[in-house]
Structure 1
Amino acid sequence: MTTSLRPCLWFHDNAEEAMRYYVGLFPGSRIEGIERYPDASLDRHFEGMAGKVLSGRFTLDGMPFTCLDGGPAFTFTESISITVACADQAEIDRYWAALSAVPESEQCGWCKDRFGLSWQILPAHLDELMTGPAAIQALMGMGKIVISEFPAADGEPRGQ
């Protein structure tokens, strides 16, 4: 499937490090290309950016992204996040361990990585786990989602 949509991620000065990290984490991922800032004498906006990423293109598990090193003018906020739909608890645990770097940002499956980007690490079947008020209450008490901690539809603990 081809899409014309491609989110762009603005990093302070570590776009290439982030691309390499994400590509190494998600199967079916690759860096497509990196253009670097030219010599600062070409434009005042390039001052101090020589060699940094002017435009990086990469794909994570089939989803295309663009990124750049833009300096400190803008930072990531939780208003934008990337959702990872996980097949099972082992996959949740793997992505959570790799991406969660800011404990105070963890809630309901949301975490923030070492680059400041927010992620939602969720079971692909979350809708099936959300069986009523007890399930919502369980979710609200979680940082990392633990599937076995959701009550079953009959209200009994789900178990392992």
Structure 2
Amino acid sequence: MTTTIRKITPNLWFDGQAEEAANHYISIFKNGSIERIARVGEDRDVLTVEFELEGQRFVALNGGPHFRFNEAISFIVHCDTQEEADYYWDRLSEGGDEKAQVCGWLKDKFGVSWQIVPSDLTDMVTDSDPAKAERVMKAIRATAKKLDFAALRRAYAGE
């Protein structure tokens, strides 16, 4: 069996929850699948799980308790509607760290950080009109948790 190797694949280090995490993520994203699982030892313990979410390949590794996730790395979920954002926010933040949920960022139950943002956010914050971009950034900073897409778009429009 030959698998296509991608140039870059994020590798996520877990302490025994690689398969649980992969199954959790594919249950949330519509286009998600487990691609293959590597098992080792006499007990056939899971070493790695290769999975795909919305066309992005990941590897989940059961590496042990040596390293923990932090906010230095996060995954951005671009959403077209508030309803879509609410869905991802609610599902990904379930069981996560409530204190870590600010300005559109959340930490899931495995400690992985996610950003749930409008699909047009990059366009808004990089607009050639610095006043528009600053209003949007100010609205983001004023957000305690989940982003309000309508409020960001109103700020961008100057309303």
| C-alpha distance in structure 2 between counterparts of 1:70 and 1:35, whole Å | 13
Asked whether the equivalents of residues 109 and 121 of structure 1 are also in contact (C-alpha less than 8 Å), the reply is: yes
- 1:26 positional shift: 0.7
Establish whether residue 92 from structure 1 lines up as the match of residue 93 from structure 2: no
- 1:57 positional shift: 0.6
Q: What residue number does 1:137 align with?
A: 138
Asked whether the equivalents of residues 83 and 121 of structure 1 are also in contact (C-alpha less than 8 Å), the reply is: yes
Q: Over the residues paired in the alignment, what is the CA RMSD in angstroms?
A: 1.6
Unaligned runs of 5+ in 1: 40-49
- 1:115 positional shift: 0.6
TM-score, normalization: structure 2?
Answer: 0.84
State the 4+ residue runs in structure 1 displaced beyond 6 angstroms.
Answer: none
- 1:68 positional shift: 1.2
Residues 27-106 of structure 1 correspond to what in structure 2 (within 5 A)? 27-39=30-42, 50-100=43-93, 101-106=96-101
Q: Secondary structure at the match of 2:115?
A: strand
| C-alpha distance in structure 1 between counterparts of 2:72 and 2:84, whole Å | 24
Establish whether residue 111 from structure 1 lines up as the match of residue 111 from structure 2: no
Match of 1:13 among 16, 40, 44: 16
> What do the CA deviations read for 1:33-92 (whole angstroms, capped 9, x no partner)?
1112313xxxxxxxxxx4432121110111001111111001111101111111111110
AA of the residue aligned to 1:67:
A
> What do the CA deviations read for 1:95-121 (whole angstroms, capped 9, x no partner)?
000112212111221110001000011
How many aligned positions are there?
Answer: 145
Establish whether residue 4 from structure 1 lines up as the match of residue 4 from structure 2: no
TM-score, normalization: structure 1?
Answer: 0.83
Q: What residue number does 1:43 align with?
A: none
The sequence identity of aligned pairs, in percent, is 39
Asked whether the equivalents of residues 139 and 155 of structure 2 are also in contact (C-alpha less than 8 Å), the reply is: no
AA of the residue aligned to 1:87:
D
Q: What residue number does 1:121 align with?
A: 116
Unaligned runs of 5+ in 2: 126-131
Asked whether the equivalents of residues 37 and 51 of structure 1 are also in contact (C-alpha less than 8 Å), the reply is: yes
| C-alpha distance in structure 2 between counterparts of 1:87 and 1:110, whole Å | 17
